[in-house]
């Protein structure tokens, strides 16, 4: 009997059970008849049996499909030759080599999951990764089955003038009355997850790119006609990414046309379908009046990311979904390198590390902890995680650091050459790097199989008589749900030792002939290791884990003076910033404790002085100064608390911000005024830096809540010609109880109510407001016309922002926030399980809170698990959370 409630344990898929497919599919001919009520899909597959396969039957994946007919080598199959269930179609007896024709009916207009073929703002589009293709037709929907696709699309000519699929357009013309067709052929064999189809009446923006070898590539971007003026930045970013990949990785684009289609309803950022990327419009559209600098930066990064996948993901793809980090970790690393090359590399690194430590570290310490190559999953969509992406990128970055730029390039060249056109594993990737460099990464491979964030505890001894400086390094890794014991990792630890003037000392270890000047990399391999540096004339200040050379937690215990010294002097920009962060953490944790004990909070004057020095200093990278001024987030602070106290974290941080604002009032004011910009807007790194620094000054000043600054803030809101400055002012106002808040929110709404992406910002900044009544406001906004439950951007902007970005209000001890989230998870689950599961993971850390909060969060999780018909997506997250 069929289970109606998947909460009765849907199956777990294991890496150890991987088997090559029994059949390969050489070619697939698809024919789509797109209709207003339903769509018919005809597919013709050329199949051949794998030499080692012995089963006479063939099992194809398929979900939510109405089977209309099957033919085997032209003969209609009768019902006794096959059977169906809700997830598959089994043909009982098939030959070694044959043609299969299958006709199915699907309902894209009713598809709210945004997986498979669906409609968004009246246009047809697809999302097939990871397992959406099986919602279009029966197929061997797994990445190691790579076929050549020919796709014919037939649709109403007026409603859908644009018909697109992967590869090259080989035919087009009239079909029957009022309908037309287009036929596309993709010369590159590809897995089904890279299939794409679009039928729309979008406008096309055209450009071209000449490759290094002189080939002309057509670049086409498709957006809604009224958004045509918002594509310049995305197009320019694409061309920069294409040139960069040629220069840095020697990768040229391979088709004659590269298309990007922007849609409003999309589960994530974008999708790298071969030759036909589909994007969330949030990562394409930008003009200064509607997009912030952060939007500009994100667009550039996502455009580049999807483009880079053409090699790292499409030409060389994954054997199975356990290998997801093969393409994602590597491609994130590549897009991070690209972004770093476009502006301030220090700031880019800081942003990446901030994100990793605030969110991936907590994932790695919670119930969903998994290695970057997981051992098992229930629903693969739950494994598009920060661990696979961001930690995966850190692992590639370590390989890069260990091999150096040239060695790494030799390795990636070999990887692309050796595996072009194949579906491979992370092990194949590491092997290629090893082979090209004649090196051994056996121990390094533990990064792929062991979960959890390693911890380094370092003690230091200076011996003035011997002039030696000793670092003793202990590494451990906390147990994770499936791995109680870990072996030591191979860790690159980049270090420098600073003399009293802040210069890097030459570093020579005992037994070495020559010293190395500047940063040097120690390679840790054991649980405990000692490094003794020679000829150290005076007690140095250590600068360790420079550039965040490994995704680990470092316990070094520097004094406040040492942190201040590094903050001012370290040559390594990342570590300068890091010194400020660690010092701020120390101070904030002290304030948290004082708050919890009801003691008065007191400001540390040494910290204030250092911040003043930085503000008044001559650092030319203003974005970097702004980063230094940004205090550690409440999320990151929570990482350091045994029992997370969201209120104390918020109060402590707010106190420190206010304290600095009071003490440095005039410096903040002069800096703010001196950084006023001139029209028109530019998105150059310098201008972005200027706005960042100016707006952080405004944020500090606004914590003082005085009437003058509020009206100055309202003035910035009213007079700015760009969304960065408008949003900075509006976010600060949204936190207040003032009349200015009301005026500005209303004015903003009136001006932008017809621009959906801007309305997302309006929803978000209200959800992120630390005002007491934020949940009441959020609840009201769920009923507002600007909100729509079936649109993931709206859900993330309002519910996601409140539950994941506003810890002090979400974790209100009453539990109201928790019940609110539970209700929305259950409302969303039948519509879009992927998005519901993302929201459900907000409860993952419930055990880290006090008992009262634990009890209420656990109740919500149990309520969800016991609800009828929850999806396997939500089932996996909630049952793992309950443990
Ligand atoms: N590869 C896609 C992500 C697909 C997510 C499926 N649930 C986008 C990217 O990482 O480039
Ligand atoms: Zn990706």
Kindly list the structural domains of the chain, giving each domain's residue range(s) and its CATH number in brackets, ordered by start.
Answer: 13-284 (2.60.40.1730), 319-449 (1.10.390.10), 455-550 (2.60.40.1840)
Distance 196 CA to ligand 2 centre (A): 16
Taking residues 677-701, what's their average pLDDT?
Answer: 94
Closest-approaching ligand to the CA atom of 326: 2
Q: Whose CA is nearest to atom 1 of ligand 1?
A: 271
Q: What pLDDT is recorded for position 4?
A: 41
Indicate the DSSP class of residue 390.
Answer: I
129 within ligand 1 shell (Cβ under 6 A): yes
Nearest CA to ligand 1 atom 10: 328
Instruction: Confirm or reject: Cβ of 381 under 6 Å from ligand 1.
Output: yes
Query: Ligand 2: distance of its center to the CA of 306 in Å?
Result: 6
In short, whether 700's Cβ falls inside 6 Å of ligand 1 is no
Main-chain dihedrals φ then ψ at residue 391, nearest 5 degrees: -70, -35
Residues with CB under 5 A from ligand 2 (ion): 328, 331
Sequence-distant contacts of 857-864: CB under 8 A, at least 24 apart: 857/815, 857/818, 858/882, 859/818, 860/818, 860/819, 860/821, 860/822, 863/822, 864/822, 864/825, 864/826, 864/840
Rounded distance, CA 176 to CA 87, Å? Answer: 34
d(CA 45, CA 18): 24
The mean pLDDT value for 408-424 works out to 99
Any ligand 1 atom below 6 A from CB of 335? no
593-604 tens-digit pLDDT: 999 999 999 999
Is residue 274 in contact with ligand 1, taking CB distance under 6 Å?
Answer: no
Cβ contact 683:298 at 8 Å: no
Is the per-residue pLDDT at 801 higher than 70?
Answer: yes
What's the pLDDT score for residue 8? 63
| Residue range 760-782, pLDDT digits in tens | 999 999 999 999 999 999 999 99
Task: Work out which ligand 1 atom sits closest to the CA atom of 305.
Answer: 11
The two tokens of residue 877 are 């997250």
pLDDT band (50, 70, 90) for residue 2: very low
Catalytic residues: 306
pLDDT tens column, 482-491: 899 999 999 9
Q: State pTM to two decimals.
A: 0.98
As beta bridge partners, residue 82 has 91
Nearest ligand to the C-alpha atom of residue 385: 1
Predicted local distance difference test score (pLDDT) of residue 679:
82
CA-based max dimension of the chain: 95
Nearest CA to 825 out of 777, 877, 768, 784 is that of 877
Q: What is the pLDDT of residues 333-371, one digit of tens each?
A: 999 999 999 999 999 999 999 999 999 999 999 999 999
Q: In this predicted model, what pLDDT tens digit does every residue of 604-654 receive, in sequence order?
A: 999 999 999 999 888 999 999 999 999 999 999 999 999 999 999 999 999
Residue whose CA lies nearest to ligand 1 atom number 7:
381
3-class DSSP state of 644: coil
Q: Cα–Cα distance between 321 and 14 in angstroms, integer? A: 10
**pLDDT-based confidence at residue 195 (cuts at 50, 70, 90):** very high
Ligand nearest to the backbone CA of 271? 1
Q: Please, which residues bridge with residue 433 across strands?
A: none
- Report how far residue 275's alpha carbon sits from residue 142's, in angstroms, rounded to the nearest whole number: 20
* Ligand 1 contact via 271 beta carbon (within 6 Å): yes
**How far away, in angstroms, is 308 Cα from ligand 2 center?**
9
Q: Whose CA is nearest to atom 2 of ligand 1?
A: 271
Average pLDDT over residues 722-745: 97
Ligand 1 site, residue 334, Cβ cutoff 6 A:
no
Res. 51: pLDDT tops 90:
no
CB 293 within 8 A of CB 115: no
Assess whether pLDDT exceeds 80 at residue 470: yes
Checking 226-232 for CB contacts under 8 A at 24+ apart, the result is: 227/203, 227/262, 227/281, 227/285, 228/203, 229/287, 230/284, 230/285, 230/286, 230/287, 230/290, 230/291, 231/205, 231/284, 231/285, 232/286
What is the DSSP secondary structure assignment for residue 843, as one 8-state letter?
G
> 685 C-alpha to center of ligand 1: Å?
28
In this structure, what DSSP letter does residue 769 have? -
Give pLDDT, residue 53: 78
Of all protein residues, whose CA lies closest to atom 5 belonging to ligand 1? 129
What is the gyration radius of the CA atoms in the chain, in angstroms? 28
Mutation probe of ligand 1 site: the residue of 128, 271, 276 with most atoms within 8 A of C-beta: 271
Sign for the CA dihedral angle at 76, 78, 81, 83 comes to: positive
User: What value does the mean pLDDT take over residues 236-252?
Assistant: 99
Distance from Cα 331 to the centre of ligand 2, integer Å: 6
User: In which element (H, E) is residue 856 found?
Assistant: helix 851-865
Whether residue 7 is predicted with pLDDT greater than 50 in this model: the reply is no
pLDDT digits (tens, 9 = 90+) for 175-186: 999 999 999 999
Verify whether ligand 1 is closer than 6 Å to residue 873 (CB atom).
no
Displacement of CA 323 from its chain's centroid (Å): 17
């Amino acid at each position: 009997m069929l289970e109606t409630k998947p909460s009765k344990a849907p199956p777990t898929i294991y890496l150890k059970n991987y088997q090559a497919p029994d059949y390969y599919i050489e070619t697939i001919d698809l024919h789509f008849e797109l209709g207003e009520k339903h769509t018919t899909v005809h597919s013709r597959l050329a199949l051949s049996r794998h030499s080692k396969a012995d089963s006479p039957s063939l099992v194809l994946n398929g979900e939510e499909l109405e089977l209309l007919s099957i033919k085997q080598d032209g003969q209609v199959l009768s019902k006794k030759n096959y059977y169906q269930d809700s997830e598959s179609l089994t043909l009982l007896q098939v030959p070694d080599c044959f043609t299969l024709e299958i006709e199915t009916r699907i309902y894209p207009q009713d598809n709210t999951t945004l997986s498979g073929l669906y409609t968004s703002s009246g246009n047809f589009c697809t999302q097939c990764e990871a397992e959406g293709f099986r919602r279009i037709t029966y197929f061997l929907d797994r990445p190691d089955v790579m076929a050549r696709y020919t796709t014919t699309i037939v649709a109403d000519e007026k409603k859908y003038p644009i018909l697109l699929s992967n590869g090259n357009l080989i035919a087009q013309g009239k079909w029957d009355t009022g309908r037309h067709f287009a036929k596309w052929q993709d010369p590159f064999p590809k897995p089904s997850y890279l299939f794409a189809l679009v039928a729309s009446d979008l406008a096309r923006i055209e450009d071209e790119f000449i490759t290094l070898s002189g080939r002309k590539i057509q670049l086409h971007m498709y957006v809604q006609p009224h958004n045509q003026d918002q594509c310049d930045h995305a197009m320019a970013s694409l061309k920069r990414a294409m040139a960069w990949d040629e220069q840095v990785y020697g990768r040229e684009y391979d088709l004659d046309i590269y298309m990007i289609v922007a849609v409003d309803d999309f589960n994530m950022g974008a999708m790298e379908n071969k030759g036909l990327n589909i994007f969330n419009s949030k990562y394409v559209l930008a003009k200064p009046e509607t997009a912030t600098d952060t939007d500009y930066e994100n667009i550039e990064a996502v455009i580049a990311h999807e483009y880079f996948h053409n090699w790292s993901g499409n030409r060389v793809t994954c054997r199975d979904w356990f290998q997801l980090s093969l393409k994602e970790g590597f491609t994130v690393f590549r897009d991070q390198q690209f972004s770093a090359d476009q502006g301030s590399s220090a700031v880019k690194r800081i942003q990446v590390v901030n994100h990793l430590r605030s969110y991936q570290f907590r994932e790695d310490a919670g119930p969903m902890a998994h290695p970057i190559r997981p051992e098992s999953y229930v629903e693969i969509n739950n494994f598009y995680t920060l661990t696979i992406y961001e930690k995966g990128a850190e692992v590639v970055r370590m390989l890069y650091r260990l091999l150096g730029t040239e060695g790494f390039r030799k390795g990636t060249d070999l990887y692309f050459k050796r595996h072009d056109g194949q579906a491979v594993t992370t092990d194949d990737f590491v092997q290629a790097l090893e082979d090209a460099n004649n090196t051994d990464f056996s121990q390094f491979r533990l990064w792929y199989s062991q979960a959890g964030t390693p911890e380094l505890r370092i003690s230091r001894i200076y011996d003035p008589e011997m002039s030696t400086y000793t670092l003793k390094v202990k590494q451990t890794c906390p147990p994770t749900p499936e791995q109680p014991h870990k072996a030591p990792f191979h860790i690159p630890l980049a270090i420098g030792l600073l003399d009293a003037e802040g210069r890097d000392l030459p570093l020579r270890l005992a037994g070495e002939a020559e010293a190395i000047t500047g940063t040097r990399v120690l390679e840790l391999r054991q649980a405990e290791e000692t490094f003794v540096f020679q000829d150290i004339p005076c007690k140095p200040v250590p600068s360790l884990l420079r550039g965040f050379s490994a995704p680990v937690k470092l316990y070094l215990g520097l004094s406040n003076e040492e942190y201040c010294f590094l903050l001012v002097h370290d040559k390594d920009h990342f570590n300068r910033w890091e010194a400020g962060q660690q010092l701020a953490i120390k101070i904030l944790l002290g304030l948290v404790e004082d708050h919890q004990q009801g003691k008065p909070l007191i400001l540390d004057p040494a910290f204030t002085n250092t911040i003043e020095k930085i503000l008044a200093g001559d650092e030319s990278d203003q974005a970097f100064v702004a980063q230094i001024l940004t205090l550690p987030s409440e999320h990151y602070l929570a990482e350091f608390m045994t029992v997370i106290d969201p209120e104390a974290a918020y109060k402590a941080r707010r106190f420190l911000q206010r304290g600095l604002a009071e003490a440095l009032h005039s410096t903040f004011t002069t800096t703010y005024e001196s950084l006023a910009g001139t029209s028109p807007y530019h998105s150059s790194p310098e201008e972005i830096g200027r706005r960042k620094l100016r707006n952080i000054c405004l944020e500090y000043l606004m914590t003082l809540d005085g009437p003058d600054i509020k009206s100055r803030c309202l003035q910035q809101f009213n007079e700015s010609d760009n969304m960065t400055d408008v949003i900075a002012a509006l976010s600060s106002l949204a936190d207040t109880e003032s009349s200015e808040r009301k005026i500005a929110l209303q004015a903003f709404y009136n001006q932008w109510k017809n621009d959906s992406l801007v309305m997302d910002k309006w929803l978000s900044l209200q959800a992120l407001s630390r005002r007491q009544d934020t949940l009441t406001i959020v609840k009201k906004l769920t009923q507002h016309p600007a909100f729509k439950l079936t649109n993931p951007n709206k859900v993330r902007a309002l519910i996601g922002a409140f539950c994941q970005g506003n810890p002090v209000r979400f974790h209100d001890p009453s539990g109201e926030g928790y019940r609110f989230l539970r209700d929305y998870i259950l409302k969303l689950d039948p519509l879009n399980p992927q998005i519901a599961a993302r929201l459900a993971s907000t409860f993952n850390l419930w055990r880290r809170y006090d008992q009262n909060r634990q009890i209420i969060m656990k109740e919500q999780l149990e309520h969800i698990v016991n609800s009828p018909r929850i999806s396997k997506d939500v089932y996996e997250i909630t049952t793992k959370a309950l443990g």
